[in-house]
């Protein structure tokens, strides 16, 4: 026998016992997004490579070393999307969604980055992303953050903390960059290899370094906030006071810079220390220049993306209960007549009670073996149907999760009794 094939490293199957948690997150997030007036947009998983080069930035980790880029059969360079913002902006420009319109959009799905896989970091991972176009004031920044706080509440997650910073305008960042580079050059020997390499290409990212040997050096580095322009400063102050008024706690982290080039002004991350090294579950910020840079009319924009794997991991580690999706009923059918009636009765039950989950046994077998399967399915009740029951036009209802006698009801009374037992009315 040849060796069985395995999935690509860093790309995971989401198995049935995990998918209930995924569905729980997706449903709750969708509910909250709809409550704030967001509409879904679905973009292709593949885009032209140039889109990501231009929007994420040539000298970012993503573009330099993490993209899944390939030549299409006709020679075009295409890339599996490493994130959703670029494609969303491209779609909005292409379909003129931004002309005199505020848009509140969300999308979900797989993203691809060739990173070193570890817990919470994968090569195919899933995001739910949110983008708002056409609003430049701090009120929408605050609304998005209040909405994320509501998301955590609705998911039953605790102990997530919000880190905030302002990157100012690109001119302010350029002045800061000069000061930072001058400072780091003075201490070049104390920089690790990665940071020495970044000094010319992307010095701001050095501030993100987690290397403990460099923390003292970075703590003493110039601070971005000392270089920020007045308009950005007042935008940030208004955002902070709106968050104070809304009761959303946050910490200003002057070293938060984010790894994508399109950001300016507000940036933020929701983090937990309960997931090990990959503790950012949601991240985003303003990118007021990107729409124009990609060929659209100048449009203010802000958004964020949630990492699904990390949120699901946190639900698991915080033991958040998720709704049980096991069947309510498992229909045991022994005998030819019973099988035929079992199929029809299950259909009638589904017609009468649309929320009901019913598995009808297929494949024959004795009562004993079918009851074993009923038990393993997680169902609360077995409906028992042998040819004798069919002749009497009756069904047995056997509780599988509590110590109670089996009862018998007529075919006609079945759906009323089931609805009552399962409290589906
Ligand atoms: P990002 O910080 O690159 O931002 O990713 C957002 C979130 O996706 C991260 O906080 C993390 O939870 C999750 N994530 C990223 N990479 C991985 C990975 N390799 N494995 C598992 N999870 C991962 C963006 O992608 C921006 N497009 C967000 C945004 C939207 N900004 C404005 N609008």
Ordered structural domains, the chain, with CATH: 16-168+228-317 (3.30.930.10), 329-421 (3.40.50.800)
- The stretch 360-388 carries a mean pLDDT of 97
- Residue of 113, 257, 307, 308 best suited for mutating to test ligand 1, as the one with most atoms within 8 Å of CB: 307
Give the β-pairing of 394-399 and 381-386.
antiparallel
Band the pLDDT of 118: cuts 50, 70, 90.
Answer: very high
Q: Which residue has the tokens 């302002």?
A: 166
Band the pLDDT of 354: cuts 50, 70, 90.
Answer: very high
Closest atom of ligand 1 relative to the 85 alpha carbon: 27
Q: How far is the CA of 130 from the centre of ligand 1 (A)?
A: 11
Closest-CA residue, ligand 1 atom 2, reads 283
Closest atom of ligand 1 relative to the 269 alpha carbon: 10
Q: Which residue has the tokens 């998918």?
A: 19
Per-residue confidence (pLDDT) for residue 18, from 0 to 100:
94
Q: How far is the CA of 374 from the centre of ligand 1 (A)?
A: 42
- Residue of 283, 285, 315 best suited for mutating to test ligand 1, as the one with most atoms within 8 Å of CB: 283
Give per-residue pLDDT as tens, 149-165.
Answer: 999 999 999 999 999 99
Q: How far is the CA of 284 from the centre of ligand 1 (A)?
A: 8
Closest-CA residue, ligand 1 atom 29, reads 304
Give per-residue pLDDT as tens, 43-62.
Answer: 999 999 999 999 999 888 89
Neighbours of 379 (CB within 10 A): 21
Q: Which residues line ligand 1 (CB under 6 A)?
A: 83-85, 113, 115, 120-122, 125, 127, 129, 131, 280-285, 303-305, 307, 309-310
> Which token pair is 143?
């609304």
d(CA 282, CA 224): 22
Closest-CA residue, ligand 1 atom 15, reads 307
Closest atom of ligand 1 relative to the 270 alpha carbon: 10
Q: How far is the CA of 370 from the centre of ligand 1 (A)?
A: 46
Enter the pTM of the model.
0.93
Q: How far is the CA of 114 from the centre of ligand 1 (A)?
A: 13
Burial 56-91 (b: 16+ CB within 10 A, else e): bbeebbbbeebbeeeeeeeeeebbbbbbbbbbbbbb
Whole-angstrom CA distances from 333 to 277, 344, 346, 390 are: 52, 12, 11, 10
Give per-residue pLDDT as tens, 4-30.
Answer: 999 999 999 999 989 999 999 999 999
Per-residue confidence (pLDDT) for residue 200, from 0 to 100:
86
Q: How far is the CA of 174 from the centre of ligand 1 (A)?
A: 25
Q: How far is the CA of 45 from the centre of ligand 1 (A)?
A: 15
Whether the per-residue pLDDT at 425 is higher than 80: the answer is no
User: Among 76-80, 121-125, 213-217, 359-363, whose mean pLDDT is lowest?
Assistant: 213-217
Give per-residue pLDDT as tens, 182-223.
Answer: 999 999 999 999 899 889 888 988 988 888 999 999 999 999
- The stretch 109-120 carries a mean pLDDT of 97
- Residue of 127, 128, 132, 299 best suited for mutating to test ligand 1, as the one with most atoms within 8 Å of CB: 127
Closest-CA residue, ligand 1 atom 18, reads 121
Percent of the chain with pLDDT over 70: 100
User: Among 56-60, 77-81, 155-159, 405-409, whose mean pLDDT is lowest?
Assistant: 56-60
Whether the per-residue pLDDT at 277 is higher than 90: the answer is no
Per-residue confidence (pLDDT) for residue 395, from 0 to 100:
98
Q: How far is the CA of 15 from the centre of ligand 1 (A)?
A: 23
Closest-CA residue, ligand 1 atom 7, reads 307
Closest-CA residue, ligand 1 atom 1, reads 283
- Residue of 284, 289, 311 best suited for mutating to test ligand 1, as the one with most atoms within 8 Å of CB: 284
Whole-angstrom CA distances from 17 to 8, 13, 14, 22, 297 are: 21, 11, 8, 10, 46
Q: How far is the CA of 126 from the centre of ligand 1 (A)?
A: 9
d(CA 354, CA 339): 22
């Amino acid at each position: 026998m040849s060796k069985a094939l395995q999935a690509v490293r860093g790309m995971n199957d989401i198995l049935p016992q995990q998918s209930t948690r995924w569905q729980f997150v997706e449903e709750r997030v969708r509910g909250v997004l709809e409550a704030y007036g967001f509409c879904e947009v679905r973009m292709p998983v593949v885009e032209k490579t140039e889109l990501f080069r231009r929007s994420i930035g040539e000298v970012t980790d993503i573009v330099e070393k993490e993209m899944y880029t390939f030549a299409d059969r006709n020679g075009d360079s295409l890339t599996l999307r490493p994130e959703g913002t670029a494609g969303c902006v491209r779609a909005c420009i292409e379909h003129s969604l931004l002309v005199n319109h505020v848009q509140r959009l969300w999308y979900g799905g797989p993203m691809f980055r060739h990173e070193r896989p570890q817990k919470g970091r994968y090569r195919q991972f899933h995001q739910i992303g949110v983008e708002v176009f056409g609003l430049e004031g701090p009120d929408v920044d605050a609304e998005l953050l209040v909405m994320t706080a509501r998301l955590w509440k609705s998911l039953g997650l605790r102990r997530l903390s919000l880190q905030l910073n302002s990157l100012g305008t690109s001119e302010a960042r350029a002045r800061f960059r000069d000061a930072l580079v001058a400072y780091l050059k003075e201490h070049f020997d104390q920089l690790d290899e990665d940071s020495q390499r970044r000094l010319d290409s992307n010095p701001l990212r050095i501030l993100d370094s987690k290397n403990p040997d460099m923390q003292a050096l970075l703590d003493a580095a110039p601070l971005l906030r000392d270089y920020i322009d007045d308009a950005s400063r007042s935008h940030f102050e208004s955002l902070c006071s709106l968050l104070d008024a809304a009761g959303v706690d946050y910490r200003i982290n002057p070293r938060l810079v984010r790894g994508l080039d399109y950001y300016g002004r507000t940036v933020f991350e929701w983090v937990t220390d309960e997931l090990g090294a990959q503790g950012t579950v949601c991240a985003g910020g303003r990118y007021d220049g990107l729409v124009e840079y990609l060929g659209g009319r100048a449009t203010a924009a802000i958004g964020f993306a949630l990492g699904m794997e990390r949120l699901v991991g946190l639900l698991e580690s915080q033991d958040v209960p998720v709704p049980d999706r096991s069947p309510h009923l498992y229909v045991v059918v022994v005998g030819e007549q019973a099988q035929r009636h079992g199929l029809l009765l299950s259909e009638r039950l589904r017609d009468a009670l649309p929320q009901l989950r019913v598995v009808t046994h297929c494949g024959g077998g004795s009562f004993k073996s079918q009851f074993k399967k009923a038990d393993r399915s997680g169902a609360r009740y077995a409906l028992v149907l042998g040819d004798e029951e069919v002749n009497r036009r009756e069904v047995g209802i056997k509780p599988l999760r509590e110590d109670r006698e089996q009862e018998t009801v007529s075919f006609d009374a079945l759906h009323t009794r089931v609805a009552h037992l399962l409290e589906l009315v």
